[in-house]
Chain A
């Protein structure tokens, strides 16, 4: 054990200390260890040395089970039609990111279940002491589908493009304030160094599969014409892509990781504009799998034994913002009252048939290792809500307009909130808009999303809460639709970003969670599971919480 410790960095040793002292669990240690760049065998060794059993679990319900997948065959998948061009720089929609994931690969991958990191194109990674510099060692022998070797130059090219704060990258949601163009440098052909704008202890997550735009593309290639070649390093290569119609891929015969070559011969994706036709296609045998289903739309499949439902816990959620600078929500008691009206378990049952986790009015989903789950869960309490309202001088309730986008289960959520709020005398008028209208220009003053007194916004899965703690809640946040400006919060979050160990992060999380519960700028009511469906005879389909459909290990069992 001491030998191990001598070779490890100060931070890694700190992590080991924490586990030995029992301040973090074995599970958290593994998760944290992977972020620090410790390899799984090393982690297992340490865990074993510390008296724990080998902790690397492999079984995950994020992929369809039931028998062993056989090699070969064509797998036909229904996905929602991509809303625009398949450009790694700009893709931000479900269909588009599922397409990117077919031929592209990332530096790292976070296990959807355990949020544990492992290397994909990266072999290992380490950081300096204050986590402001991260060095990634790339795997050797990685080649693009045209045979060219992938080197650090390709990674630098990709990352510079995605992190360019003056550019139009969709990945800026992740890299904004963390990494900018020029921050990525090649140390040697197989080593890349990231110099961050601010210390970030979770950086390896930010280049993982969850940052779906961050597939490594060839140096000098134009992302706008990616659609023509789908040139990546992945186990499949493009056969044909037809805008709005579908795409097909074949096994990449020269895949660099030959041990993990794709099982299926061919993949056939058909694009659908709506959910129901996809379900019909699965029922009618036209497709073998659906990339995403919703609980309400997928009712017919949920109860049918002929299909496997892939249920992936995710941190995707909806935020219900209440503008802190606008009546009636200027008084925090009014915001608290609103949050106390809501029957969260009831909503999860009604909207998700239970397939979601409770939210506690902060971005800290129960899955995050850094979440302090000892903070009491807010539950429905109408009498307390009424008391708070009368303290705030609104004993007779008030009336407010709730702006919503007509997407997903959001219209139904609005109805539930309306019905719950009524019990405390609050009248909620629902204004439903198309997503295009709701988001408007995406800038303050030109967007119902950012300007409305109260609104519901959709947020995707993140494997670390950094982005969610930033843009929607910081005083300077560009997504701060609640207009929440709290210096105390701002400094806590800054500390959180720079925290290098889990114990410190957890300590800060507790303060953040408590502060947000008290201020309640935004209601976080639930974090819902991501669902996919396949035929019972198909095994090994992996659906990620972001929505990628990974089929390299998929195959028919019969």
Chain B
């Protein structure tokens, strides 16, 4: 098990390094000149050159990259070129905000989709099953900004029950903050609902069909207990994987939802950095997002193998 985790960690580090190279290369293609974009059209060429020298953007790309990597290894993500503040505090604050939003989204979507999937599985082939499956399929296909906009129109404007922006006023209590985050969280959840419900349904159908569930039922255990104790657990397994693999989509969705609802999370940070051509901020954001994704996949894999004896056995081999 330890070897499995170590190997995965090693691969994750290589992947992170590759991400940094990819991002760095694409940034080299960005048009514009950092010093010029800070000083504006009037600054003399000397002043622009001096600022570029100070910021280090006049150094060869390879040197810049090496310095950046050395910094990151030591935990220093550099200084934002646009805002002239250290990148790290900005990243951590944004990441915390996004986590809060993602957490609420998960709290909304996981129980709902598990229940949905289970109900569908228990009524395989009926209209209820088809309804849930088709609704899930449709919801997961619709971009977050579309669901978000429809939610704003219906819940925010016509019914006027939820605030339409995620930005709350300074000093707002936890409950107010929660209400502000609810609509963006629902918009994020819609895409995930389809996937998780589908996986849960498949897992459940398989479990219900399995020998041990049949045995349990034959033994005369109450139907409800069988479902809760045996089948649910089986249905949960693929769900964990799906949550982990959909994390990339979740973070991509965060960009859109954070922009639509005006929320200062990691997605918005990356979006702003990309628009402002703020290299250290963009690099930092991409690494953090990649890191979070890889870590989550790793945790999901470990959890999966812990919960599933068959995989554990394979991993040991």
Q: Is there a contact between chains A and B in the complex with CB atoms less than 8 Å apart? A: yes
- B140 CB–A CB distance under 8 Å: no
- A92 CB–B CB distance under 8 Å: yes
CB pair B262–A274 under 8 Å, yes or no, is yes
- A243 CB–B CB distance under 8 Å: yes
- B173 CB–A CB distance under 8 Å: no
CB pair B90–A244 under 8 Å, yes or no, is yes
CB pair A168–B262 under 8 Å, yes or no, is no
- A166 CB–B CB distance under 8 Å: yes
Question: What B residues does A277 contact at CB under 8 A?
Answer: 165, 167, 262
CB pair A441–B32 under 8 Å, yes or no, is yes
Among B31, B36, B44, B90, which residue has its beta carbon within 8 angstroms of that of A165? B44
Question: What B residues does A443 contact at CB under 8 A?
Answer: 36
Query: In the complex, A272 Cα to B262 Cα: how many Å?
Result: 9
Whole-angstrom distance from the CB of A383 to the nearest CB of chain B? 39
Question: What B residues does A172 contact at CB under 8 A?
Answer: 42-44
Q: Using A90-B38, A90-B39, A436-B275 as known contacts, list a sample of 17 further A-B pairs with CB atoms less than 8 Å apart, ordered by residue number in A.
A: A83-B82, A84-B82, A84-B84, A166-B44, A166-B46, A168-B48, A227-B84, A243-B83, A244-B264, A270-B170, A273-B272, A276-B262, A436-B32, A440-B31, A441-B31, A441-B33, A442-B41
Whole-angstrom distance from the CB of B240 to the nearest CB of chain A? 36
CB pair B41–A280 under 8 Å, yes or no, is no
CB pair B276–A436 under 8 Å, yes or no, is yes
- B299 CB–A CB distance under 8 Å: no
Query: In the complex, A166 Cα to B44 Cα: how many Å?
Result: 5
Whole-angstrom distance from the CB of B180 to the nearest CB of chain A? 11
Residues 151-187 of A contacting B (Cβ, < 8 Å): 165-170, 172-173, 176
- A434 CB–B CB distance under 8 Å: yes
Given known A83-B276, A277-B165, A277-B167, contact A442–B40 (CB-CB < 8 A):
yes
CB pair B82–A478 under 8 Å, yes or no, is no
A sample of 21 cross-chain residue pairs with beta-carbon separation below 8 angstroms, ordered by A number, consists of: A84-B83, A85-B83, A90-B39, A167-B47, A168-B35, A168-B47, A168-B48, A168-B51, A172-B44, A227-B84, A244-B264, A270-B170, A272-B167, A274-B262, A277-B167, A280-B164, A281-B167, A436-B32, A436-B276, A439-B37, A478-B42
- A286 CB–B CB distance under 8 Å: yes
- A305 CB–B CB distance under 8 Å: no
- A41 CB–B CB distance under 8 Å: no
Among B36, B167, B275, which residue has its beta carbon within 8 angstroms of that of A442? B36
Whole-angstrom distance from the CB of A468 to the nearest CB of chain B? 14
Q: Which residues of B contact A (CB under 8 A)?
A: 31-33, 35-44, 46-48, 50-51, 82-85, 90, 164-165, 167, 169-170, 262, 264, 268, 272, 275-277
CB pair B32–A168 under 8 Å, yes or no, is no
CB pair B262–A244 under 8 Å, yes or no, is no
Residues 435-484 of A contacting B (Cβ, < 8 Å): 436-437, 439-443, 478-479
CB pair B40–A434 under 8 Å, yes or no, is no
Question: What A residues does B90 contact at CB under 8 A?
Answer: 243-244
Query: In the complex, A392 Cα to B181 Cα: how many Å?
Result: 61
Chain A 384-397: CB-based contact to B (< 8 A → 1; otherwise 0): 00000000000000
CB pair B32–A440 under 8 Å, yes or no, is yes
Whole-angstrom distance from the CB of B256 to the nearest CB of chain A? 15
Residues 276-290 of A contacting B (Cβ, < 8 Å): 276-277, 280-281, 284, 286
Question: What A residues does B164 contact at CB under 8 A?
Answer: 280
CB pair A167–B44 under 8 Å, yes or no, is yes
Residue picked from A244, A286, A434, most chain B C-beta under 10 Å: A244
CB pair A439–B43 under 8 Å, yes or no, is no
Question: What B residues does A442 contact at CB under 8 A?
Answer: 36, 40-41
Query: In the complex, A155 Cα to B165 Cα: how many Å?
Result: 45
Question: What B residues does A243 contact at CB under 8 A?
Answer: 83, 85, 90
**Main SS class of interface, B:** loop
Question: What A residues does B165 contact at CB under 8 A?
Answer: 277, 280
CB pair A273–B42 under 8 Å, yes or no, is no
CB pair B41–A169 under 8 Å, yes or no, is no
Residue picked from B42, B83, B268, B276, most chain A C-beta under 10 Å: B42
Whole-angstrom distance from the CB of B76 to the nearest CB of chain A? 18
CB pair B36–A441 under 8 Å, yes or no, is yes
Q: Which residues of A contact B (CB under 8 A)?
A: 83-85, 87, 90, 92, 165-170, 172-173, 176, 224, 227, 243-244, 246, 270, 272-274, 276-277, 280-281, 284, 286, 434, 436-437, 439-443, 478-479
CB pair A439–B41 under 8 Å, yes or no, is yes
CB pair B44–A168 under 8 Å, yes or no, is yes
CB pair B40–A92 under 8 Å, yes or no, is yes
Given known A83-B276, A85-B83, A90-B39, contact A166–B32 (CB-CB < 8 A):
no
Query: In the complex, A90 Cα to B48 Cα: how many Å?
Result: 11
Whole-angstrom distance from the CB of B199 to the nearest CB of chain A? 37
The 7 closest A-B CB pairs, nearest first, are A168-B47, A168-B43, A442-B41, A85-B84, A168-B39, A172-B42, A286-B169
Question: What A residues does B48 contact at CB under 8 A?
Answer: 168
CB pair B37–A436 under 8 Å, yes or no, is yes
CB pair A434–B31 under 8 Å, yes or no, is no
Among A85, A168, A434, which residue has its beta carbon within 8 angstroms of that of B275? A434
Given known A281-B169, A441-B32, contact A176–B42 (CB-CB < 8 A):
yes
CB pair B42–A173 under 8 Å, yes or no, is yes
Residue picked from B41, B83, B85, most chain A C-beta under 10 Å: B41
Among A92, A273, A479, which residue has its beta carbon within 8 angstroms of that of B262? A273
Question: What B residues does A87 contact at CB under 8 A?
Answer: 84
Question: What A residues does B40 contact at CB under 8 A?
Answer: 90, 92, 170, 442
Query: In the complex, A287 Cα to B167 Cα: how many Å?
Result: 13
CB pair B39–A170 under 8 Å, yes or no, is yes
Among A166, A244, A436, A439, which residue has its beta carbon within 8 angstroms of that of B83? A244
Given known A85-B84, A168-B50, contact A478–B44 (CB-CB < 8 A):
no
Whole-angstrom distance from the CB of A163 to the nearest CB of chain B? 11
Question: What B residues does A281 contact at CB under 8 A?
Answer: 167, 169
Question: What A residues does B277 contact at CB under 8 A?
Answer: 436
Question: What A residues does B33 contact at CB under 8 A?
Answer: 441
Question: What B residues does A478 contact at CB under 8 A?
Answer: 41-42
Question: What B residues does A92 contact at CB under 8 A?
Answer: 40
Query: In the complex, A66 Cα to B215 Cα: how many Å?
Result: 82
Whole-angstrom distance from the CB of A476 to the nearest CB of chain B? 14
Whole-angstrom distance from the CB of B193 to the nearest CB of chain A? 28
CB pair A284–B32 under 8 Å, yes or no, is no
Question: What A residues does B268 contact at CB under 8 A?
Answer: 273
Query: In the complex, A281 Cα to B167 Cα: how many Å?
Result: 9
Whole-angstrom distance from the CB of B265 to the nearest CB of chain A? 12
Query: In the complex, A28 Cα to B180 Cα: how many Å?
Result: 54
Question: What B residues does A173 contact at CB under 8 A?
Answer: 41-42
Query: In the complex, A280 Cα to B44 Cα: how many Å?
Result: 41
**Chain A residue nearest to B37 in the complex (CB):** A436
Query: In the complex, A532 Cα to B282 Cα: how many Å?
Result: 33
